[in-house]
Structure 1
Amino acid sequence: MLLEYKNSIVHYTVEGKGEAVVLLHGFLETVDMWHTLVPELSKTHHVICIDLLGHGKTGCLGYVHTMENMADAVFAILNHLKIKQAQIIGHSLGGYVALAMAKKEPQLFKGLCLMNSTFEADNNERKTLRTRAIKMAQTNYESLVRLSFANLFAAESREKYRQNYEEVLLIALQTSVQGYIAAQEGMKLRPNRFEVFKNLKANKLIILGKKDSLMDIEKIVNQIKNTDVNFKELSEGHMSHIENKSELSYVINHFNEKYTS
């Protein structure tokens, strides 16, 4: 389905009935990343998947998509569907967007799961890497995406899940250069949202991969000590929906069932 939004369009899918669950994909991904989770979730829930700005079938609004810009596009879909409260699960970039949503409309959240994601801002090293990637995107985009995408998987997973790897890489390569640059610029600008996450009056879960080189697991775990944030560590890398598919499905289903009234 498509919704007209700010002289562009936002693409989303809807399946099932019940309490709302919103699934937000990561950088260079689309709603397709959820294809193994949606059939089970939609048996008991109203599942909404949304292509974020500049990804999939959703258009771009410029060359900088802040997390707030992306959040507003998600709000447009939820308002259109008359969703008043939901459990929201965000993978990587999707988690950053969910936190921007929580800052603006905390009352929307019945639950928030950061999946292979963090409440931390980019450090200076990460910002520098994003700036370099943005420059490279303008001249050697395909090589850049192939190189950066490989880092999302644990080393052995790239071979073990070769077919899945090639499929999601192909989807990533279909992301426009503008969409790539706009998301990178937006992620550079995002603030630390630990306080937003900690103070959110909702059920909270962080799922991280033990071999995920993009996340400082020890630092994140130390920060959530003595809070009401739950934590689950999976065995592999950043792409838990592929590398830990069965275990992730169990964790997500338990998260949603536990907090269904």
Structure 2
Amino acid sequence: MLYYEVEGEGKSIVFLHGFLENHSIWNNLRDDLKDQYQIIKLDLPGHGNSKTYKEENTMEEMADEVITVLDELNIDKATFVGHSMGGYVATALADLYPERTENIVLLNSSTLADDDAKKKQRLRACETAQKNFKVLVNFSMPALFAAHHRENFKEELQFVKNIALKTPIDGVCAALKGMRERPDRSSILYDFKGGIYIVVGMNDETVNPTLFLTLIPNLPNIHLYKFDGGHMAFIEHYNEVLQILKSI
């Protein structure tokens, strides 16, 4: 079973971290929300304290593992907050387990599948990780923050780097291969009946928002927020994201 931590009381929010992250990325939000919600932070397969036993961890398999945690905690339904890769897992949950999904919050994520260029990039990243993981982390981490934010978020960038460097290489490659194979789940934008909260960084260099924004329908259950930031909205625009989560 996945490693998880639970704190607080009320409606359940499950936080799903991104690639090269772990449950500790959510500590500040946990502290500010635990008086209002039951907060479940977990480590997805191959990250943090959760082992991986496969060469490829698909988003569907990760979703199954998350449901196993909910079953263990006797939670029938939850809101899933997913950052980047965690958002891909959240969309899989909304697609495969709609009866267990209250709302989904996509932080710097997308319902789209990888295009061919991105698929090739995933494989190259795995090869780089196997040769020199530190190079991969040092090269990729600064780009997570918008260029105009990097000077002000030096400590946060170092925090994210330190987490990334603890990720096992087998978990890194298994996640890259799983993200590479995920399907387009844009149909949930129409089919899922719970709330869909979408947070976009207009300067995001990791998940380009341009095409995704054209696909988002104007429906009552869809709430779109656009910020002048990069891929780390829950750090770069912390107070705004906190208020979104408090409003759910």
Does 2:63 correspond to 1:71?
Answer: yes
Match 1:191 to one of 154, 160, 183: 183
Correspondence for 1:219: 211
Correspondence for 1:242: 235
Higher mean displacement: 244-253 or 165-174: 244-253
* Cα pair 2:87 2:107 within 8 Å, conserved: yes
Correspondence for 1:34: 26
Correspondence for 1:86: 78
* Cα pair 1:99 1:197 within 8 Å, conserved: no
Instruction: State TM-score, norm by structure 1.
Output: 0.91
* Cα pair 2:17 2:43 within 8 Å, conserved: yes
User: Could you say what secondary structure the match of 2:151 adopts?
Assistant: helix
Give the Cα–Cα distance (whole angstroms) in 1 for the partners of residues 32 and 235 of structure 2: 16
Correspondence for 1:259: none
Match 1:178 to one of 160, 170, 175: 170
User: Could you say what secondary structure the match of 2:75 adopts?
Assistant: coil
Give the Cα–Cα distance (whole angstroms) in 1 for the partners of residues 197 and 135 of structure 2: 35
* Cα pair 2:63 2:90 within 8 Å, conserved: yes
Give the Cα–Cα distance (whole angstroms) in 2 for the partners of residues 105 and 173 of structure 1: 32
Does 2:90 correspond to 1:98?
Answer: yes
Match 1:114 to one of 106, 114, 128: 106
AA matched with 2:239: S
Gaps of 5+ in 2: none
Does 2:201 correspond to 1:202?
Answer: no
* Cα pair 2:6 2:41 within 8 Å, conserved: yes
Gaps of 5+ in 1: 257-261
AA matched with 2:126: I
Does 2:226 correspond to 1:230?
Answer: no
Instruction: State TM-score, norm by structure 2.
Output: 0.96
Correspondence for 2:126: 134
What count of residue pairs does the alignment treat as equivalent? 247
User: Could you say what secondary structure the match of 1:37 adopts?
Assistant: helix
Does 2:53 correspond to 1:61?
Answer: yes
* Cα pair 1:16 1:43 within 8 Å, conserved: yes
C-alpha displacement of 1:237: 0.6
Give the Cα–Cα distance (whole angstroms) in 1 for the partners of residues 135 and 156 of structure 2: 19
Which 4+ residue blocks in structure 1 deviate beyond 3 angstroms? none
AA matched with 2:198: I
Give the Cα–Cα distance (whole angstroms) in 1 for the partners of residues 185 and 37 of structure 2: 28
Correspondence for 1:252: 245
AA matched with 1:248: V
Give the Cα–Cα distance (whole angstroms) in 2 for the partners of residues 110 and 200 of structure 1: 10
Q: CA RMSD in A?
A: 1.2
Give the Cα–Cα distance (whole angstroms) in 1 for the partners of residues 145 and 246 of structure 2: 23
Give the Cα–Cα distance (whole angstroms) in 1 for the partners of residues 190 and 144 of structure 2: 27
* Cα pair 1:90 1:98 within 8 Å, conserved: yes
Higher mean displacement: 143-152 or 119-128: 143-152
Give the Cα–Cα distance (whole angstroms) in 2 for the partners of residues 30 and 88 of structure 1: 15
Correspondence for 2:149: 157
Residues 63-100 of structure 1, C-alpha deviations (whole Å, 9 max, x = no match):
21010111111111000001101111111110101111
